[in-house]
């Protein structure tokens, strides 16, 4: 009998030791040789098209590691599938924090998904860095959630750009809006209304759709019926493509503003294939990344680096712009990690991330500076307008602040 | 200033509703076919249709002409459905209904996972079988694609009717479904009949996917999941054992969802699905076998 | 003599189960306690579902929605009325039980697959309803405890102290769910041993025969729906308490499907099997992820596992346990 007790005691001690050693170091996720970070990406489910964000980042980290890492530490990046489902995001994030003991959460994707984990991460003081979503709240509510910071130009600012552009160039426009019925879509819409200012009445109709819908034909018909001549597409790729195709099927050819999330070259290509060159011609969007399918960047050293990393570290399809996004975010993280000092802590990386200045990110448009200060928690707030012409996006106008 | 009622819009939304219903009708037919020939509802029907669509895409991607790929996909889907029945369903042929339902749920995950394993998750497109050029009649726009999907569905209903009514195979299929025990006594190879039923349903699902993908403008591994929901609703509304019911139910559902979403303010876009499902439930309470279904007689 | 042994064996198993549940957190890491707490949540839900489907033969593919009802009741009470999270559990169960009863009424008119599809429709429709009544439910953003009522979250500081005994929040969650789970299990066991159990079994075996022996079909079937609703509501409430947040997407129709799979794999009609069923649906996807990181592999493996179990072990794990223990239980519980 005594041997049984001894055995259980020994087992217990072993387990305790293992648990203790895992949580033992002063800063979780940081040892003398590596830094462990984690994130959640939709590898399956309705947003799986964005999965390459994780792959692009991973390839970049491998490249950095091959060149000595940061302050002699290699970066280990664990990303898990949350299928774009906030319930899974909370579970997997908890797993990353409590089981994988990550130093920080990096570049988790999605608006609703990150909204679900933000309160928890801030309560346990784990940095939620460079959230892969343009929701305005990441940068706006930093006083309440000081452990969270976003990354890309935010949706409200993007909508404001479109509003200001229309108010200036087409003050008699009739605008119809298709938007996703969640924070992402509503943010863009709010921005549009702000940007139109006194001309907000130019919006003749707003139609929403649910992420779980299968088609938006009815909404497009309604927008056409309200005699809109300009169409704002604040929708994810599947529904953005449908917007073009269903408009075409109704014989309607409005001037389209398509949000950056759905402006990827392959999305526009599919839309053109399903309609005609004329249907997509003249569409407008904003851009902050270099487009890998744009011949303009063929000799650009930044994109050459991108391609070589994608090839060397097996990032996947180099023509997929979401890879560029991931790589750009990874580049920014590395800069923040360097700034966090020789012995990074969660506090020091947060300080670094909120007091960052990175010029010449090889994957962003020339002239864009990734910058945060104590009052500006929007890392990237510059972009350019682009117009779809002959099957390609062409930037026009200058670089401007997306605020 | 009172606005005149916009009849054109009503007609347009009705046409759009019919077009939506048309994208679900073929899958609903496949569901009905399996139900009629095996007494089981196949939760994996949508995922199998999605898998067929990916196969079609691969064939086109490898250089085959669209129609060759189309025909080949139908054949492959038939074979696939047949094989699934032989390998997976056969061992549970005589098990209670719930067991078979769970097996089809397992198949849902199998096909879903396999499709993501083999093909990446980017957005894809399949060529159109029918033209999407808008045709305008009295201010209402539609396209050959809309008509084509509905026509194919109705054509399938006719084909099935001819098959079941006038061919020996059809007779054997019906007999095997209704009374397997006695059918065996008469020499019908019931197992083969069930497998053929699954094969036909899978082939029909393949067509459903290949027509739905262009109708929905793009496709990926998840595109059939909402379609499956609507196909179930349409099939249940029309009667799970009626092929005509599947098509009519789907079309009615499409029109109803559209009109109620557009014309009843508080329903809007958010509530149109729950309201439609509630209405179907109401119909079932009055007529549990659906509009065209045959009432079940329970012998004591 | 044998009878005494029989009762003794039963009591020993019960005590052993309680002891095992109490001891496990010492063997696993703190994080795994949270995982096991989730297993407990699924356990509670499928014990209720088992009662409905395994004992009265009514197939429900909507139990995820009943969990959502319980979960949202808890969330609304915590964030709007500032109730303590754990005290909302009984009310959440009650509300879901009432909804279950309400569903049970039209369910009487529907049979087999039509009922399955109708409940499936309910599971599909509920997220939209939750989004619509956003004043109450928080709409697409849902309700976050951390944000709206952090003071009402038990263990938000990381530790929980009960009767002077201190433990981590994860351990607390574990004990909470399994304590409720064991009590719930015992309750169902008692119900099934009694008059209702006999009525339920009669209905499952043959509704027509049951009616002819005087069983009130309507009353018993809706009662089963209501009871299983209570269990789902409690499970949903715990689901939300564990995560401290709820959104319309928290309870997808996939959850409803998974619960049914768990109940069937665990073994319909077998209470002990439900533990294995809950472990199956929680851990198989995790295990599959370790086998292969290729996309789609975990789902593929999950599907294959379900199919194989249905083919090889149609009565589920519970059936296997029953068969293995049959010689012993026969010896213990039959008169010589």
Which of residues A265, A287, A309 is at a domain's end?
Answer: A287
Complex ipTM value:
0.89
Q: Are residues A135 and A161 in the same domain?
A: no
User: What dihedral do alpha carbons C27, C29, C31, C36 form, nearest 10°?
Assistant: -20
State which residue of chain C sits closest to A98, comparing Cα positions: C31
Query: How do the pLDDT tens digits run along chain A, 403 residues long?
Result: 444 444 344 444 434 443 444 444 578 999 999 999 999 999 887 788 888 999 999 999 999 999 999 999 999 999 999 988 888 899 899 999 998 999 999 999 999 899 989 988 998 899 999 999 999 999 999 999 999 999 999 999 999 999 999 999 999 999 999 999 988 899 999 999 999 999 989 999 999 998 888 889 999 999 999 999 999 999 999 999 999 999 999 999 999 999 998 998 889 999 998 898 999 999 999 999 998 988 888 899 999 999 999 999 988 889 889 999 999 999 999 999 999 999 999 999 999 999 999 998 999 999 999 999 988 899 998 999 999 999 889 888 888 787 6
Residue-range domain boundaries for chain C: 29-333
Q: Are residues A320 and A281 in the same domain?
A: no
B-chain residues near A207 (CB < 8 A): 269
Q: Are residues A166 and A134 in the same domain?
A: no
Q: Are residues A334 and A345 in the same domain?
A: yes
Q: Mark yes or no for CB contact A181/C31 under 8 Å.
A: no
Q: How far is A142 from chain B (nearest CA, A)?
A: 32
A-chain residues near B134 (CB < 8 A): 248-251
Q: What is the domain count for chain A?
A: 2
Say if A9 falls within a structural domain: no
Q: Mark yes or no for CB contact B103/C310 under 8 Å.
A: yes
Q: How far is B136 from chain A (nearest CA, A)?
A: 8
Phi then psi for residue C258, to 5 deg, are -60, -40
Across the interface, of C114, C268, C307, the residue whose CB is closest to B88 is C307
CA atoms within 13 A on the CB side of B51: 24
Whole-angstrom CA distances from A198 to A95, A202, A227, A256, C327 are: 48, 9, 21, 22, 84
Helix, strand and coil in chain A, % to nearest 5: 45, 20, 35
Say if A114 falls within a structural domain: yes
Q: H or E segment at C122?
A: helix C112-132
Q: Are residues A71 and A122 in the same domain?
A: yes
What's the rounded Cα separation, in Å, for the pair A149 and A353?
8
Pairing of strands A230-234, A255-258: parallel
- Are the CB atoms for A93 and A120 separated by under 8 Å? yes
Q: Are residues A189 and A171 in the same domain?
A: yes
pTM score, whole prediction: 0.89
Say if A393 falls within a structural domain: no
What's the rounded Cα separation, in Å, for the pair C297 and C279?
19
Q: In a 3-state reduction of DSSP, which class is residue A392?
A: strand
Phi then psi for residue A20, to 5 deg, are -65, -45
Say if B9 falls within a structural domain: no
The radius of gyration of chain C's CA atoms, rounded to the nearest angstrom, is 20
Instruction: Identify the pLDDT of residue C10.
Output: 75
∠ CA(B32), CA(B36), CA(B42), 5° rounding?
Answer: 55
Say if A181 falls within a structural domain: yes
* In chain B, residues 32-91 whose CB comes closer than 8 Å to chain C: 35, 40-41, 43, 88, 91
Q: What is the pLDDT of residues A154-195, one digit of tens each?
A: 999 999 999 999 999 999 999 999 999 988 899 999 999 999
Across the interface, of C31, C295, C299, the residue whose CB is closest to A99 is C31
Contact residues for C215 (Cβ-Cβ < 8 A; gap 6+):
C199, C202, C203
CA atoms within 13 A on the CB side of A152: 32
Say if B111 falls within a structural domain: yes
What's the rounded Cα separation, in Å, for the pair B29 and B287?
20
Strand partners, A257: A232, A284
DSSP string, A145-207: -TTB---SPPHHHHHHHHHHHHHHH-TT--EEEEEESSHHHHHHHHHHHHHHGGGGGGEEEEE
Say if B228 falls within a structural domain: no
Give the CATH number for residue A318: 3.40.50.2300
Q: What is the domain count for chain B?
A: 1
Q: Mark yes or no for CB contact B269/A208 under 8 Å.
A: yes
If we measure between CA atoms, which residue out of C234, C323, C242 comes closest to residue C282? Answer: C242
Q: Could you tell me how far CA A398 lies from the centroid of its own chain?
A: 23
Question: Which residues of A make CB contacts under 8 Å with C?
Answer: 11-12, 15, 18-19, 22, 43-44, 48, 51, 81, 85-87, 90-91, 94-95, 98-99, 112, 115-116, 119-120, 122-123, 181-183, 210, 212
B-chain residues near A244 (CB < 8 A): 217
Phi then psi for residue B160, to 5 deg, are -65, -40
Q: How far is B191 from chain C (nearest CA, A)?
A: 16
* In chain B, residues 132-151 whose CB comes closer than 8 Å to chain C: none
What's the rounded Cα separation, in Å, for the pair A385 and B2?
42
Quickly count: other Cβ atoms within 10 Å of residue C193's Cβ: 10
Instruction: State both tokens at C115.
Output: 């009922």
Domain range enclosing A185: 155-287
Burial (CB count <10 Å: 0-12, 13-18, 19+), residue A99: middle
Q: Are residues A36 and A149 in the same domain?
A: yes
- Are the CB atoms for B80 and B202 separated by under 8 Å? yes
Say if B271 falls within a structural domain: no
Average pLDDT, chain C: 86
Instruction: State both tokens at A137.
Output: 């709240």
Say if A213 falls within a structural domain: yes
Q: Mark yes or no for CB contact A215/B220 under 8 Å.
A: no
C-chain residues near B114 (CB < 8 A): 296, 300
B-chain residues near A249 (CB < 8 A): 132, 134, 141-143, 145-146
- Are the CB atoms for A99 and C31 separated by under 8 Å? yes
Say if B290 falls within a structural domain: no
Say if B298 falls within a structural domain: no
Q: Are residues A256 and A215 in the same domain?
A: yes
Say if B144 falls within a structural domain: yes
Q: What is the pLDDT of residues C154-211, one digit of tens each?
A: 777 677 777 777 888 888 899 999 999 999 999 998 888 888 888 888 888 887 788 8
Q: Are residues A145 and A171 in the same domain?
A: no
Q: H or E segment at C96?
A: helix C89-107
Say if B169 falls within a structural domain: yes
If we measure between CA atoms, which residue out of B79, B254, B66 comes closest to residue A218? Answer: B254
Q: What is the pLDDT of residues C216-263, one digit of tens each?
A: 888 888 999 999 999 999 999 999 999 888 988 888 888 999 999 999
C214: left (phi over 0), alpha (psi -120 to 50) or beta: left
Say if A279 falls within a structural domain: yes
Across the interface, of B216, B222, B262, the residue whose CB is closest to A215 is B216
Q: Are residues A180 and A261 in the same domain?
A: yes
Average pLDDT, chain B: 89
B-chain residues near A215 (CB < 8 A): 20, 23, 215-216
Q: Are residues A39 and A147 in the same domain?
A: yes
C-chain residues near A182 (CB < 8 A): 140
Which of residues A247, A262, A287 is at a domain's end?
Answer: A287
Say if A22 falls within a structural domain: no
Q: Mark yes or no for CB contact C141/A122 under 8 Å.
A: no
* Higher-pLDDT residue of C110, B24: B24
Strand partners, A370: A358
Burial (CB count <10 Å: 0-12, 13-18, 19+), residue A5: exposed
Q: Are residues A44 and A135 in the same domain?
A: yes
Residue from A249, A314, A318 whose CB has the most chain B CBs within 10 Å, to mutate? A249
């Amino acid at each position: 009998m005594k041997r049984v007790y001894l055995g259980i005691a020994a087992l217990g001690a072993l387990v305790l030791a293992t648990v203790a050693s895992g949580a033992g170091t002063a800063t979780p996720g940081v040892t003398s040789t590596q830094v462990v970070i984690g994130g959640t990406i939709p590898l399956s489910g309705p947003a799986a098209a964005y999965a390459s964000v994780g792959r692009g980042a991973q390839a970049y980290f491998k490249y950095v590691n091959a060149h000595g890492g940061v302050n002699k530490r290699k970066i280990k990046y664990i990303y898990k599938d949350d299928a774009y489902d906030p319930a899974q995001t909370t579970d997997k994030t908890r797993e990353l924090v409590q089981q994988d003991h990550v130093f920080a959460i990096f570049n988790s994707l999605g608006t609703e998904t990150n909204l679900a984990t933000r309160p928890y991460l801030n309560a346990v003081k784990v940095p939620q860095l460079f959230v892969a979503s343009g929701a305005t709240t990441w940068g706006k509510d930093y006083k309440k959630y000081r452990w969270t910071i976003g990354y890309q130009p935010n949706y409200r600012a993007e909508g404001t750009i479109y509003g200001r552009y229309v108010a200036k160039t087409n003050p008699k426009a009739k605008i119809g809006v298709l938007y996703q019925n969640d924070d992402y879509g509503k943010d863009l819409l709010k921005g549009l209304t702000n940007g139109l200012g006194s001309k907000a009445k130019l919006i003749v109709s707003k139609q929403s759709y649910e992420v779980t819908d299968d088609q938006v034909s009815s909404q497009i018909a309604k927008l056409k019926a309200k005699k809109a001549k300009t169409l704002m597409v604040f929708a994810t790729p599947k529904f953005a493509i449908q917007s073009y195709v269903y408009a075409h099927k109704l014989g309607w050819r409005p001037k389209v503003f398509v949000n950056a999330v759905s402006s990827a070259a392959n999305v526009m290509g599919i839309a053109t294939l399903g309609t005609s060159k004329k249907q997509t011609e003249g569409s407008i969007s904003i851009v902050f990344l270099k487009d890998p399918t744009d011949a303009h960047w063929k000799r650009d050293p930044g994109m050459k680096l991108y391609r070589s990393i994608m090839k060397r570290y097996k990032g996947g399809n180099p023509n997929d712009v979401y890879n560029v996004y991931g790589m750009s975010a990874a580049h920014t993280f590395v800069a923040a990690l360097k700034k966090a000092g020789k012995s990074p802590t969660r506090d020091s990386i947060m300080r670094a991330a909120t007091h960052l200045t990175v010029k010449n990110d090889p994957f962003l448009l020339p002239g864009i500076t990734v910058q945060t200060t104590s009052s500006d928690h929007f890392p990237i707030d510059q972009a350019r307008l682009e117009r779809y012409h002959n099957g390609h996006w062409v930037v026009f106008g200058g670089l401007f602040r997306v605020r | 200033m009172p606005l005149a009622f916009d009849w054109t819009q009503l007609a347009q939304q009705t046409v759009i509703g019919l077009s939506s219903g048309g994208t679900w009708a073929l899958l609903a037919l496949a569901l009905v076919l399996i139900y009629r020939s095996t007494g089981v509802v196949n939760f994996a029907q949508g995922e199998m249709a999605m898998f067929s669509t990916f196969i079609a895409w691969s064939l086109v991607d490898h250089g085959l002409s669209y129609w060759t790929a189309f025909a080949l996909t139908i054949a492959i889907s038939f074979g696939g459905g047949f094989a699934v029945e032989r390998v997976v369903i056969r061992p549970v042929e005589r098990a209670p209904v719930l067991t078979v339902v769970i097996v089809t749920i397992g198949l849902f995950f199998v096909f879903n996972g396999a499709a993501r394993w083999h093909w990446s998750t980017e957005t894809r497109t399949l060529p159109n079988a029918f033209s999407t050029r808008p045709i305008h009649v009295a201010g209402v726009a539609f396209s050959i694609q809309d008509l084509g999907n509905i026509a194919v569905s109705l054509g399938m209903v006719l084909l099935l009717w001819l098959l079941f009514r006038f061919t020996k195979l059809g007779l054997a299929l019906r007999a095997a479904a209704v009374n397997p025990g006695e059918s065996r006594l008469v020499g019908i190879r019931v197992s083969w009949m069930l497998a053929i039923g699954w094969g036909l349903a899978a082939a029909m699902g393949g067509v459903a996917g290949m027509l739905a993908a262009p109708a929905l403008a793009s496709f990926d591994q998840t595109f059939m999941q909402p379609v499956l929901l609507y196909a179930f609703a349409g099939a249940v509304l029309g009667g799970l054992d009626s092929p005509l019911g599947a098509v009519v139910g789907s079309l009615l559902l499409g029109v109803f969802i559209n009109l109620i979403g557009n014309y009843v303010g508080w329903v809007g876009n958010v509530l149109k699905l729950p309201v439609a499902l509630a209405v179907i439930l109401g119909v079932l309470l009055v007529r549990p076998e659906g509009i065209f279904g045959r009432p079940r007689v329970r012998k004591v | 003599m044998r009878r005494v042994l029989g009762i003794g064996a039963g009591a020993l198993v019960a005590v052993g189960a309680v002891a095992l549940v109490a001891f496990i957190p010492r063997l696993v890491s703190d994080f795994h306690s949270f995982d096991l707490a989730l297993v407990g949540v699924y356990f509670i839900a499928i014990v209720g579902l088992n009662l409905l489907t395994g004992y009265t033969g009514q197939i429900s593919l909507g139990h995820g929605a009943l969990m959502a009802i319980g979960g949202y009741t808890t969330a609304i009470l915590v964030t709007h009325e500032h109730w303590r999270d754990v005290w909302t559990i009984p009310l959440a169960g009650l509300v879901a039980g009432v909804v279950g009863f309400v569903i049970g009424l039209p369910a009487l008119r529907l049979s087999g697959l039509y009922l399955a599809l109708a409940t499936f429709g309910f599971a599909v429709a509920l997220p939209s309803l939750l989004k619509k009544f956003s004043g109450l439910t928080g709409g697409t953003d849902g309700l976050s405890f951390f944000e709206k009522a952090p003071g009402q979250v038990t263990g938000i500081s990381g530790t929980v102290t009960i009767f002077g005994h201190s433990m981590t929040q994860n351990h607390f969650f574990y004990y909470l769910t399994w304590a409720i789970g064991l009590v719930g299990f015992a309750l169902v066991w008692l119900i099934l041993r009694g008059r209702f159990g006999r009525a339920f079994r009669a209905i499952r075996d043959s509704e027509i025969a049951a009616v002819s022996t005087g069983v009130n079909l309507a009353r018993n079937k809706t009662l089963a729906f209501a009871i299983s609703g209570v269990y789902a509501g409690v499970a949903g409430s715990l689901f939300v308490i564990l995560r401290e947040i709820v959104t319309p997407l928290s309870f997808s129709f996939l959850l409803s499907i998974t619960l049914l799979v768990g109940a069937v794999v665990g073994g319909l009609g077998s209470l002990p099997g439900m533990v294995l069923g809950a472990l199956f649906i929680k851990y198989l996807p995790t295990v599959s992820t370790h086998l292969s990181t290729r996309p789609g592999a975990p789902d593929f493996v999950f599907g294959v596992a379900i199919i194989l179990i249905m083919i090889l072990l149609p009565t589920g794990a519970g059936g296997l346990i029953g068969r293995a223990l049959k010689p012993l239980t026969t010896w213990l519980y039959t008169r010589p």
